[in-house]
Structure 1
Amino acid sequence: MESIDKIKVAAALLLVGLGVAGFYVLPVDQGALRSLSVVAGLLLAAAVLWFSQPGRDFVEYARDSVKEAQKVVWPTRKETWQITGVVFLFVGVLALFMWAVDSALAKFFYDIVLGRG
């Protein structure tokens, strides 16, 4: 990253910090203005980052991510319900298995090993 880009990133962080500081400096009864301070800091920081190489790289990455998400084949409603049913069935069977193992181990340790039965 070039030094000018580092300066831009630092300036963006400073703008966010100033927006948050403005939130705490302004009086409590000025809620809208306090919120506007944070939003303005974020928007100004985004504008500064927009003109830096990391900002352009992020925008390119976001566009590629949206393109990839559009390629996903989502399951139908029927497939979703079927998969959900299989998951619930598996969880039920696993719960019964864990209960059986826990009961057997408890019986073994309390009755046989410790003799408290």
Structure 2
Amino acid sequence: MSNPNVETVTSSTDRVKVGLAIAAFVAGLVGFYALSSSPTIARVGVVIVGLVVALVIAYFSEPGRRVIAFAQDSYQETRKVVWPNRKETIQTTGAVFAFVVIMAVFLWLTDKSIEWVLYDLLLGWK
């Protein structure tokens, strides 16, 4: 027999932890802008510290662990992707440019044809 109060305590504890994690990250961002006269390395350091503290706090909550596990799984999936080599990338880019040029010419011809039919034939404007 489960106790419904235990579930609510865990859920509200997790909410507090997630809220603290968000607050830590926001504090890092606020620190970045508050230190506008400081060197860039210090400003970036504040953001990184805020992010690390937020991740550590989030790791101890169930939703945070799920998000971190999802991020790890996503990273593993991107490592499985077979990325195109330079030749394939250039060929694909060339095909896209050729298609764009063909579509531009087609749309220009369509536009001029409609303009000719409407203005020259139907309305008699020249």
Q: What is the TM-score of this pair, normalised by structure 1? A: 0.77
Offset from partner CA, 1:19-68 (integer Å, 9 cap, x none): 45556777x65x25x83655544332222112111121122111111111
1:15 pairs with 2:60: no
Question: Which deviates more from structure 2 when the two are superposed, residues 12-21 or residues 89-98?
Answer: 12-21
Which amino acid in 2 is paired with 1:99?
W
- Superposition RMSD on alpha carbons, in Å? 2.6
Secondary structure of the corresponding residue to residue 2 of structure 1 = helix
Give the secondary structure class of the aligned counterpart of 2:84.
coil
Secondary structure at the residue paired with 1:89? helix
Matched residue type, 1:84: T
Partners of 1:75 and 1:23 in 2: CA distance: 38
Q: How many residues align?
A: 115
Say which SS state the counterpart of residue 75 (structure 1) adopts.
coil
1:98 aligns with 2:101: no
Unaligned runs of 5+ in 1: none
Structure-2 separation of matches of 1:83 and 1:68: 23
Gapped runs of 5+ residues in structure 2? 1-9
Other-structure match for 1:112: 121
Identity %: 41
